[in-house]
Structure 1
């Protein structure tokens, strides 16, 4: 074989020995297709979900809407209905009145279908040719837009990615440079070493959270219905959680290539299923308990509850317990498995 052939063969062998190349070439497309296929599976079309806001005329409107098999209607309070419309959980909200008002999100594809079905349901038989029986109002004010849903998810994703990559990457780099071996000879305890990484990460996360909030407020007008203090505490809890996961990921990895593959293995599934870009409710019901137990789901739900619903820390008990578990358990495992060389 000539020199060119030998060089090509050498390069192919080097590529096959790099875990990150195999991951991005073979595993990542399969994982992406699997999760997005589950989220946007081509099932038979179900009924369009609409809500009637509580009020004097709500029972009469519900009686008419229930006669349309293509609609799934329920009566809820207006504030909850608006939040669910903004999150994509409803296609239309109907406000009772002399002329009922239909709130629709222009960014939702099903909004127009829902409006036409509602108009058809409310039209009297003799008025079937005159569909203008409701007033359609596009909803795009802050708190009810897709960007308002997206920003907390992106903040959670940023905290996860930066924590995992910074902590795990630096630990493996120190191991490769023999610095960890030198630190092992000092009277420092392993727990102190781990906590120093986590606390440093929390300090950097504080600046990250404040910058993200200011950026979202200035550029997109994303509202804050809750407390900035509560949001900061939630963000710091998430940063500590993912820093603990980063320590665990780096416990045994020897090379930066190996730790890169492990970080991707941990983070990419959560990026798809934990409600960063679209609601986690798009996934099948049998997968929901697993999704709710993931740390990125917990922090995304908590950030959205604080920013868009004004939730306080006391009402976030369940997701905070999830984050606490994902902080303590990885730390205990890392204390047992971590090696200095």
Structure 2
């Protein structure tokens, strides 16, 4: 068995055994969907003609997938470094690519299951989300999004040394980003300067691309722009992650 396969299998077993984490990973975005869906059911956003669900469903899905990627790898790297697991991996023939690659595959799997559950619930009577005909483009968009936010999680997991610091840094970044990127309410309702500020946030690009692919709020150009923005942030986060990654608490 290769190092990559062994690490992936071990990571999967660890995730499945942690019932609480599994529950909140998949249930948390659904809770937001249910709350927003019931509160704004049947209401349209002025002038756009799109329902609130068309805005919030795509935004909450983007936030949920990104959040899972950031927290998943962040906590794992911190814990493995604290328990000297990374040091032992470093002394083995396993390359760093196997460590990150195994978590990447798990993050993609989690994101896929999250998306299927989320869209399935959103299409139920009472919510009535109707996916646009270009919804298959959602797959590459989510892959790019997961890649980008996984690398952000690597940065957080490399600089944080305790579970509290991982949670603090991740929440400090992800919660304001969710509000400023339009995950929970339409960007059109924000002041123009905040809309411009959101262009420097990676979640904005994921939201826009998911919205255009899933519900048709935008065109292929919006999907392309969103994907290009995610690629830029992935390269940036990857470069930073390579510089700050630590095998042990001291190096």
Give me the TM-score of the superposition, normalised by structure 2. 0.74
CA–CA distance in 1 between the matches of 2:53 and 2:191?
A: 24
What is the CA distance between 1:301 and its match in structure 2?
A: 1.2
Matched, 1:221 2:123: no
Picking from 169, 178, 189, the partner of 1:282 is 189
User: Residues 331 and 196 (structure 1 numbering): CA distance in 2 closer, same or farther, change over 3 Å?
Assistant: farther
Equivalence map 1:47-62=2 (5 Å): none
Higher helix share: 2
Structure scoring higher RCO (CA < 8 A, sep ≥ 6) equals 2
CA–CA distance in 2 between the matches of 1:146 and 1:311?
A: 15
Secondary structure of 2:184's aligned partner: coil
Q: Indicate if the aligned counterparts of 1:298 and 1:319 stay in contact, CA closer than 8 A.
A: yes
Q: Indicate if the aligned counterparts of 1:227 and 1:312 stay in contact, CA closer than 8 A.
A: no
Q: Indicate if the aligned counterparts of 1:205 and 1:235 stay in contact, CA closer than 8 A.
A: yes
Matched, 1:208 2:114: yes
Matched, 1:252 2:156: no
Q: Indicate if the aligned counterparts of 2:213 and 2:223 stay in contact, CA closer than 8 A.
A: no
Secondary structure of 2:130's aligned partner: coil
Secondary structure of 1:309's aligned partner: coil
CA–CA distance in 1 between the matches of 2:220 and 2:100?
A: 27
Matched, 1:194 2:103: no
Map of 2:80 onto structure 1: 174
State the number of aligned residues: 205
CA–CA distance in 1 between the matches of 2:71 and 2:191?
A: 30
Gaps of 5+ in 1: 1-84, 92-138
What is the CA distance between 1:87 and its match in structure 2?
A: 3.7
Picking from 42, 61, 68, the partner of 1:162 is 68
Matched, 1:307 2:214: yes
* Large movers: runs of 4+ above 6 Å: none
Matched, 1:269 2:173: no
Give me the TM-score of the superposition, normalised by structure 1. 0.56
Tell me the C-alpha RMSD between the 2 structures: 2.2
What is the CA distance between 1:274 and its match in structure 2?
A: 0.7
Q: Deviations 1:104-152 (Å, cap 9, x if unpaired)?
A: xxxxxxxxxxxxxxxxxxxxxxxxxxxxxxxxxxx8xxxx321222111
Q: Indicate if the aligned counterparts of 1:226 and 1:311 stay in contact, CA closer than 8 A.
A: no
CA–CA distance in 2 between the matches of 1:260 and 1:148?
A: 30
User: Residues 313 and 202 (structure 1 numbering): CA distance in 2 closer, same or farther, change over 3 Å?
Assistant: farther
Say which one has the larger Rg. Answer: 1
Higher strand share: 1
What is the CA distance between 1:201 and its match in structure 2?
A: 0.7
Matched, 1:328 2:235: yes
Gaps of 5+ in 2: 1-42
